Amino acid sequence: MKLYIFEHCPFSARVRYVAGMLNISLDIINLDYDDDTTTADIIGTKQVPVLVKDNGQAMAESLEIIEYFLTLADSTETHLPSQKVLNWQRSAFLPLQKVGYPRWSSMNLPEFSSDSAKLAWRNKKETEALDFDTLLRETPAIAREVESLIQQASKVLNLMSKQPMTLVDKAIMFSILRGFFSAAELQWDHAVKEWMVSASKKSNVKLLK
């Protein structure tokens, strides 16, 4: 099976996390950010992740892909996230954009290997509210906001509890928290950082740093 992704994309990361945890083998294809044709030719629009099964059938919604992986693994787990994880994700998306948008295209990520890809990113993602240079200058304030979210994540993950989280909940938490590693200035809750490092190794999905 082929999985088309952007390395920075949290939706791609959560799919890869589940595949890694379930030992599902994938051919990972990192697209250039300014590639407007590859996934459009497959599903009719530029979007990631896109899974192409061995029979040629394509899937493009991350939760549907996760559901398919759970089926392949004969798992009885749900593919639907819990409300507490959805609530945390909702509060974390804008801070993730504030951290990632001005940094990702300057990192050594395969989708930004060309100047045209970097320019395409800036043209699409930079707005008056998300001005890249301003966001970088405001890193100390943004860091405080993100560090509060990381503390909340510690409670959502409930790392000291013996009550296991579902795979999809862990995948979503991992995929968002992963993006916060892009800012070296952030101070991490020790338990959350330890969980992230362990989850990265187990799933074979590298942290964004």
pLDDT in tens, 111-154: 999 999 999 999 999 999 999 999 999 999 999 999 999 999 99
pLDDT value at residue 158? 86
Question: Is 159 a residue whose pLDDT tops 90?
Answer: no
SS (H, E, C) the chain: CEEEECCCCHHHHHHHHHHHHCCCCCEEEECCCCCCCHHHHHHCCCCCCEEECCCCCEECCHHHHHHHHHHHCCCCCCCCCCHHHHHHHHHHHHHHHHHHCCCHHHCCCHHHCCHHHHHHHHHHHCCCCCCHHHHHHCHHHHHHHHHHHHHHHHHHHCCCCCCCCCHHHHHHHHHHHHHHCCCCCCCCCHHHHHHHHHHHHHHCCCCCC
pTM greater than the 0.75 cutoff: yes
Structural domains of the chain, ranges and CATH numbers in brackets: 2-72 (3.40.30.10), 83-203 (1.20.1050.10)
